[in-house]
Amino acid sequence: MFKHVKLNESVLPKSLGVKGKNQHGIRYYTIDGVNMPSVTSILGDIPERKEKIVQWRKAVGEQMANYISVTSTNRGKSTHKLIENHLNNEDDKSNGVTNVVALGLFRLIKPYLKRIDNINCLEEYLYSKEIGVAGQVDCVAEYKGKLSIIDFKTSTKRRDADYNYGNFLQCSAYAKMFEEMYPDKKIEQTVVLATCESGEVQEWLHTEDKIKEHQELFYKHTQEFLERHKENLVEITK
- Tell me which DSSP letter residue 4 carries: B
- The percentage of residues in the chain with a pLDDT greater than 70, rounded to a whole number, is 96
- End-to-end Cα spacing for the chain: 44
Q: Of all helices (H) and strands (E), which one includes residue 36?
A: strand 34-37
CB 171 within 8 A of CB 147: no
Looking at residue 232, its pLDDT comes to 67
Looking at residue 124, its pLDDT comes to 94
CB 176 within 8 A of CB 186: no
Q: What is the mean pLDDT of the chain?
A: 92
Q: Of all helices (H) and strands (E), which one includes residue 192?
A: strand 189-196
Could you tell me the pLDDT band of residue 234, with boundaries at 50, 70 and 90? low
Looking at residue 31, its pLDDT comes to 87
**pLDDT tens digits, one per residue of 195-207:** 999 999 999 999 9
Between 230 and 199, the higher pLDDT residue = 199
Question: Rounded to an integer, what distance in angstroms lies between the CA atom of residue 65 and that of residue 155?
Answer: 15
Residue 171 clears pLDDT 90, i.e. is over it: yes
- The percentage of residues in the chain with a pLDDT greater than 90, rounded to a whole number, is 76
CB 153 within 8 A of CB 146: no
What is the average per-residue pLDDT within 77-89? 95
Looking at residue 236, its pLDDT comes to 52
Could you tell me the pLDDT band of residue 233, with boundaries at 50, 70 and 90? low
- Tell me which DSSP letter residue 206 carries: E
Looking at residue 136, its pLDDT comes to 94
Looking at residue 149, its pLDDT comes to 98
Residue 214 clears pLDDT 80, i.e. is over it: yes
Q: Which domains does the chain carry?
A: 9-237 (3.90.320)
Q: Of all helices (H) and strands (E), which one includes residue 219?
A: helix 208-228
The four Cα atoms 91, 96, 102, 105 give a dihedral, to 10 degrees, of 30
- β-partners of residue 190 are 149, 206
What is the average per-residue pLDDT within 173-188? 97
* Confidence (pTM): 0.92
- Write the CA distances from 94 to 21, 73, 120, 173, integer angstroms: 28, 18, 22, 30
**pLDDT tens digits, one per residue of 125-165:** 999 999 999 999 999 999 999 999 999 999 999 999 999 99
